[in-house]
Chain A
Amino acid sequence: MPPPLQAHRLLISHRRLPTPARRRLTAVSSLQSAPATTLAPGPATSSILSIRESLLSGERTAANITSDYLSRLRRTEPSLRSFIHVADAAAEREAEELDRRIASGEKDAVGPLAGVLVGVKDNLCTKNMPSTGGSRILDGYRPAYDATAVRRLREAGAIVVGKTNLDEFGMGSTTEGSAFQVTTNPWDDSRVPGGSSGGSASAVSARQCVVSLGSDTGGSVRQPASFCGVVGLKPTYGRVSRFGLMAYASSLDVVGCFGSSVFDTATILSVVAGHDKMDSTSSSQDVPDYTSELVSLDLLESKPLNGLRIGIIQETLGEGVDTGVVSSIKGAASYLEQLGSVVDEVSLPSFSLGLPAYYILASSEASSNLSRYDGIRYGRQVSANDLNEIYGESRANGLGHEVKMRILMGTYALSAGYYDAYYKRAQQVRTLVKESFKDALEKYDILISPAAPSAAYKIGEKINDPLAMYAGDIMTVNVNLAGLPALVVPCGFVEGGPVGLPVGLQMIGSPFSEGSLLRVGHIFEQTLQNFSFVPPLLAER
């Protein structure tokens, strides 16, 4: 049941408006970065844009904006625990430095992300800042370099406010698998934020930071985005460099982004995407300005999605999917029809095969990728009497239960005599999945489905039932196997928690079609009425 809110229809223009109008509107939109109590319901507005314009107009200082976010962070963090590490002092220092440069009239001071506080999932390396991957074995580890995505954000002026919590090395769907803490869902603190990028999703949902980076190997950006009511984007495989992302499953891993609006998400993608010579699997396809296709609400035609062909994936609305979720997605589908698109049901016959194939391939690669955590060169080393014991004890003590289980599964799947039956067969399934998506995406511009079979569930509910947790990834893993981009936008609510729990709509496109996904997502988000995806946590106090 959606919370009874009236849409305030803030008219936020991202472009094409004459400058005076823009300035006037900015004053209104800067509410997003204002203290929580004044957060207004209505269509999501771009926090990045309002920060940028208030810095440019001199209306606010970066220090002021940063202190707003930090005070909200300090207030909410005791119940949320989104961050493993908060770099508040550094953030304040960087904001003051930015103000000083703006004051002294330095031309380039206001980069595209100047003064924007970002949360970075802790499996992305950050120079001189702890990077643990949520694992005990990397407790205290500080990388010598920034991940490429982080470096690009910083070069654009962003301020890294801290490292967000995650399931250890990205393996899990609830963020309960972190070695350090359990993050809660801003919509209901007895529930999980999803995972593995749960900290990044929860932090953006609670406006502890403006945007955040996550990683998505089997749904780790999209499912928590859905659970926390934020926008989450899993780019095409290779669109964003993986350099500096602690590898879980190299052929599936993608760095993704979270924002409280599609516009913010598009802005972040424009900054982090692009070829990187440090990652041979990164694509050299040109990176467009993803925000340039986003049309402001007042310029939209009455049927802005005219001509768009949408396929709703049959297999994602059947058994095992929460009825509330199904009706939210069907509601979203008919709303997309109202906007002018044609929505048909489409069947992906190989859909159900994706989940087992995913768990074999991801575990196989993980068993290899995690070999480097041996306690020899960095991280925790247990002292022992012989070499095998060093390895055994360091890893037994340093790695968590879920990680060890996946290493065992992966080691088994790659072993002589089993390779053909598991790894090779799973690769064949992967090819089938790719082909069935390709066929479907020839008939449809976009495929839609839920991002998860249910809304956020209770902390502890699936912790002893890994298979139930794995089953929750059914909506997302196929997309990783096919390497496609997918965008999750909040589309409705189901009952649960104090005010209802958000549900996300997943939109899947052809390789490198992030631009059109974001365009459609933006139209959907901006025109959707009667919903506000600001969690109740922020209205309390």
Chain B
Amino acid sequence: MALTLLRGMRTPVSLRSNTGLFFNVLRPRLSHFTTRAESAQATEPKAVPKSIQLATKEAAEQKTQGFEAIIGIETHVQLSTVTKAFCSCPYDYGSQPNSTICPTCMGHPGTLPVLNEKVVECAVKLGLALNCEISMTSKFDRKQYFYPDLPKGYQISQFDIPIAKKGYVDLDLPVEFGGGHRKFGITRVHMEEDAGKLLHSESGSYSQVDLNRAGVPLLEIVSEPDMRTGIEAAEYGAELQRIVRYLGVSNGNMQEGSLRCDVNVSVRPVGQSEFGTKVEIKNMNSFSEINRAIDYEISRQIMLHKEGQADQIVQETRLWDESSQKTFTMRKKEGLADYRYFPEPDLPEVVLTTDYIDEISKSMPELPEASVAHFFDSTLEHGADAKLACNWIMSDIAAYLKNEKLSIHETKLTPLELSELIASIKNGTISGKIGKEILFELIAKGGTVKGVIEEKDLVQIADPAAIEAMVDKVIADNPKQLEQYRAGKTKLQGFFAGQVMKTSKGKANPVLLNKSLERS
């Protein structure tokens, strides 16, 4: 079936012809910095002296004099549900093209969508985390357009009644960018399905369709046009990333496209109440790129205004080009696209109860305070698994902080060591139980995971032969219990396990231990 999918098709001309159009008008200052939530994704140099950053900021202010930028962001978050939104196919990023597809997500005749209830759960979680009103009754609609990555010729989305609306995000800007508290409005959060991917041939003579991603659930988060600078927009994006990771609804990975931001930018003279013509920018793969793309676009638009060429700012979609640090026209929007939305007749309305919402609300992790959030972000930057990091921070570390009435920065634990700890447990060097011991050691005294392991000789014993030997010894030492065990008192397996653990000082790998005991 995969073969029938990959049929020859010429690449649409519109996609190829637009790179390399005009715009050598402006050369924006490169403001090199990374926002804090950016994990290891950003490839540009990270540490830039503060003085340069400040200079950049001042320069930006200089440039915007007399003008004000209006920025709104549409964010697509891909949900990490086990199956797709409307069929039971799994989705794994990077798997063989057309390997996770079925008649339904391929849009075969006669197939029907069946809503994955986890999608609703994720939407409600995020809606609540973004302080939204949750719609007790919402519905799905069809957004219609033709494109080869869209199997049905329409996308199942939500149009006039989104599942959540009218929320906001609170955040603090980093001190190095002037600091300050910001509250950005959230217009709506709605559920929809992702499209597939087109793989264009190098010759450009054909394209191939990969439908693995078709039907993967997305939440689209639309912000109010509340942001004024690139850094505000980037911080807003970073905050969303943090929230979806904390909630566990998405891995928020921008490189894999699990979190995608489309930014709308317009400028207007300060004091003018109506908005200028807005331009949409896509193709930013990190928050730093979002920041720079926006600042570039703002300067471009202001320059056109100042040169009396404001009429050259047209409603269009522009792509950020990281190599040239510029935005380029991708397509002009001639009039408004007519998606001919209408209610999806194949799906019943989504009706929620207050009990359902309460239940979800109770199950949600408490969103972290800013300092903990930053600690979490840094831990991820060191490569830690988001879910595990969240668990450690929200349970053991949070409990410790609460008991000791400390803030996370007042402890000796560093994000690097936490990520090391998580990795050591994941790769089996130490057990989870020992991990906890080490954690408290690190919090109280500092040091490194490796150091503590070596110092206390805590490496997990994962050598079956060594464990076997200990088991044999314990059995030999306890003939009475062995007799009882053989007589049918099988509960005594726990006793033996306990004895081995005692001898090994808790270092015996429990899985191997039990296996060994069962054999003996």
Contacts and interface: CB of A to CB of B under 8 A. Distances in A.
Contacts of A245: 110
A144 B103 contact: yes
19 contacts: A124-B110, A131-B109, A145-B103, A242-B110, A246-B110, A280-B114, A364-B342, A368-B153, A371-B154, A372-B108, A377-B209, A377-B211, A387-B10, A387-B11, A387-B148, A388-B12, A390-B10, A415-B340, A423-B342
Which of B1, B7, B13, B109 gathers the greatest number of chain A CB atoms within 10 Å? B109
A240 B345 CA distance: 16
Interface string B93-124: 00000000001001111111111000000000
A445 B157 CA distance: 41
A381 B7 contact: yes
Interface in B341-367: 341-342, 345-348
A249 B346 CA distance: 10
A264 interface: no
A386 B107 contact: no
Given A281-B346, A387-B12, A377 B107 contact: yes
Interface residues of B, number: 40
Contacts of A527: none
B300 interface: no
A243 B109 contact: no
A451 B433 CA distance: 75
Nearest to B147: A387
Contact of B110 (A143, A376, A384, A391): A143
Contact of A243 (B7, B110, B338, B347): B110
Interface size class of A (residues with CB under 8 A): 35 or more
B109 A376 contact: no
Interface of A: 123-125, 131, 133, 138, 141, 143-145, 147, 242-247, 249-251, 277-281, 364-365, 367-368, 370-374, 376-378, 381, 383-388, 390-391, 411, 414-416, 419, 423
Nearest to B86: A280
A138 B5 contact: no
A131 B108 CA distance: 12
Contact of B112 (A280, A368, A377): A280
Given A144-B108, A377-B209, A251 B148 contact: no
A243 B346 CA distance: 10
Enumerate the 3 nearest inter-chain pairs by beta-carbon distance, A residue then B residue, closest first: A371-B153, A250-B345, A251-B345
A411 B144 CA distance: 10
Contacts of B336: 416
A246 B113 CA distance: 13
B112 A133 contact: no
A147 B209 contact: no
B506 interface: no
A372 B8 CA distance: 18
B347 A125 contact: no
B333 to A, nearest CB: 14
B162 interface: no
A147 B154 CA distance: 22
Contacts of B341: 414
A contact face: mostly helix, strand, loop, or mixed: loop
Nearest to B146: A391
B215 to A, nearest CB: 13
Contacts of A374: 146, 148, 153
B342 A414 contact: yes
Contact of A365 (B112, B114, B151, B345): B345
B422 to A, nearest CB: 39
Contact of B346 (A143, A250, A372, A414): A250
Given A247-B110, A374-B146, 17 more contacts: A125-B110, A131-B109, A141-B109, A144-B103, A244-B110, A247-B346, A277-B114, A278-B114, A280-B348, A365-B345, A371-B144, A372-B108, A376-B7, A376-B148, A377-B4, A377-B209, A387-B9
Contacts of A123: 110
A136 B7 CA distance: 19
Contacts of B110: 123-125, 131, 143, 147, 242-247
A62 to B, nearest CB: 29
A388 B13 CA distance: 10
B152 interface: yes
